[in-house]
Amino acid sequence: MNIGIDFGTSYSAAATFVGDELTLIHFGEARQFRTAVFFPEVVPDPNDFQLTPELDAQVEAHIRSARAQQRQFAMEAQQRGGAFVERSDSELRRDALRTVRRQWMERRAAESPTATVESFQHALFGDEAVEAYLEYGDGNLIESPKSMLGYRLDPQVRKVIVHIATHILEHIRLAASRQLGEAVRTAVIGRPVHFRSSMGEKGSEQAVEILREAAAVAGFDAVSFLEEPAAAAMHYHKRLTTRQAALIVDIGGGTTDVAFAELGGDELPRIVHTWGLAKGGTDLDINLSMHSFMPQLGNNVTRVPVHHFVEAASVHNLPKQREFRRQDYRMVDEPWQSRLRALQQPGATTRLNQTAERSKITLSAVDDTHADLGFLEPGLGVGIARADMDEAVEPFIHRMQRLLAEVREEWPGVPASVFLTGGTSRSPIVKAAVRDSFPGIPMVEGDPSLGVVSGLAVAAAEAATATV
């Protein structure tokens, strides 16, 4: 049985066709789960590395052998009549330190149970993962691992990320196999047009590679990838009885993806062009947090540089989080000092981010809300009005409209409809911005959560028929 998997930044889901029936895989009672994993063991952190006498002796040994090698090279160069540029002692020392630290990390990882996939047996998923982390305040919570796949990763971190992706894909495969009553071994996995990346297109290539590796370890014999807006197009195609050009806009948690396609009728769907922006709902949470919460923690009031607050708000960026936790705020005036130090406690940035996301979601339905920040200081809270939200998310809206303007410039013709999906499309501000970008074109609202996974199920069913 071939299934479609939507490995989302915020939520993951899976679906397939049983006969003609679209069947969503259930995870407990739910049809999707928050893409978060909690595991209690500690992953080696390079910052825990300390030069013990034993490790120092290893550094010295590396320096000695590098020096001997240098002498050898210098001699050979002299014999050939060439020149050899010697490296300074401090350079040799830096290299030796780096090697010893890497070997230390590898040893720790090998000793640590988290280094093996089996050890993730105690992992928790979804909201349960977030809750366990907040309750224990220890261990590792990895939220939105998809956001990390396209970043420059050192080999050790890459290994951990592959394990996490493996675990999520295995969780999905096992749930699907149980529900469908047969072993699921193939899948079509959705991917954004551009992953969030620090290396441009290379980041997207790395992300797909990681997912491929993870899928193999998770027990899939074969997987293929389909761009998420193309998947949503496959779903919309099924709803259209007559042929038309359509624009698909999927605004998710991590990315905003667009496809221009010819859909409907008896012919096969044809994806003409896709566009992508590596920004989504998680950026809105950071925007709102910076706008409404961080002034309560001293942003723009104290001399704490603004980047500290950005680091605290960026919960999906582990190096930034670590950086924030390492700061010393004992010199900051009260009340900000205590609030900042409370925010450095385990789980507090996650809680602040959750509060930002919840406030954002509430403000999609009502005009103002009250955010409780009592976990930072008893009684602390802040009122947020729709106008604050408008102001906070302005940078995202502006960037998204720029993407949509590009789409308009590059599309081959005016589409008959704009099909809107993705969780962030629930926001009235975002929806209005999309409508303003395409005046006069009817907008069709799909299921914000299930458009992509439903289309992936269509693609999975077609691929299965094609290979029978």
* Beta pairing class for 11-18 and 33-34: antiparallel
Could you tell which of ligand ATP, Mg ion, none binds residue 4, using a CB distance below 5 to 8 A set by kind? none
| Crossing angle of helices 428-437 and 394-410, rounded to 10° | 30
Three-class DSSP category at 3: strand
Part of the chain binding ligand ATP (CB under 6 A), chosen from 40-48, 290-298, 317-325, 360-368: 360-368
* Cα 251–Cα 253–Cα 357 angle in degrees, nearest 5: 120
Candidate residues 291, 339, 351, 360; the one interacting with ligand ATP per rule CB under 6 A: 360
Cα separation values, 127 from 111, 142, 161, 358, Å? 29, 12, 19, 13
Tokens of 79: 């014999």
- Beta carbon nearer to Mg ion, 229 or 264: 229
x/- track of binding to ligand ATP for residues 137-166 (CB under 6 A):
---------x--------------------
Residue 426 touching ligand ATP (CB under 6 A)? yes
- Beta carbon nearer to ligand ATP, 4 or 254: 254
Cα separation values, 43 from 49, 164, 393, Å? 13, 12, 35
Residue 4 touching Mg ion (CB under 5 A)? no
Residues in contact with Mg ion, total (CB under 5 A)? 3
Q: Least distance to ligand ATP from the beta carbon of 429, Å?
A: 9
Q: Least distance to ligand ATP from the beta carbon of 369, Å?
A: 12
Tokens of 319: 């190096």
Residues in contact with ligand ATP, total (CB under 6 A)? 23
Q: Least distance to Mg ion from the beta carbon of 228, Å?
A: 5
Residue 252 touching Mg ion (CB under 5 A)? yes
- Beta carbon nearer to ligand ATP, 254 or 269: 254
- Beta carbon nearer to ligand ATP, 167 or 426: 426
Candidate residues 1, 3, 9, 279; the one interacting with ligand ATP per rule CB under 6 A: 9
Q: Least distance to Mg ion from the beta carbon of 249, Å?
A: 12
Bridge partners of residue 125, in order along the sequence: 37
Per residue in 249-258, is it b (16+ CB within 10 Å) or e — as a string? bbbbbbbbbb
Candidate residues 2, 156, 204, 282; the one interacting with ligand ATP per rule CB under 6 A: 282
**179: Cβ–Cβ under 8 A, 6 or more apart, which residues?**
23, 25, 26
Residue 448 touching Mg ion (CB under 5 A)? no
Part of the chain binding ligand ATP (CB under 6 A), chosen from 100-108, 231-239, 275-283, 296-304: 275-283
CA atoms within 13 A on the CB side of 389: 27
Could you tell which of ligand ATP, Mg ion, none binds residue 11, using a CB distance below 5 to 8 A set by kind? ligand ATP
Under 8 Å between Cβ of 359 and 292: yes
Per residue in 106-141, is it b (16+ CB within 10 Å) or e — as a string? eebbeeeebbeeeebeebbbbebbbebbbeeeebbb
Would you tell me which residues interact with Mg ion (CB under 5 A)? Answer: 8, 252, 452
Would you tell me which residues interact with ligand ATP (CB under 6 A)? Answer: 8-11, 146, 228, 252-255, 280-282, 357, 360-361, 364, 422-424, 426-427, 449
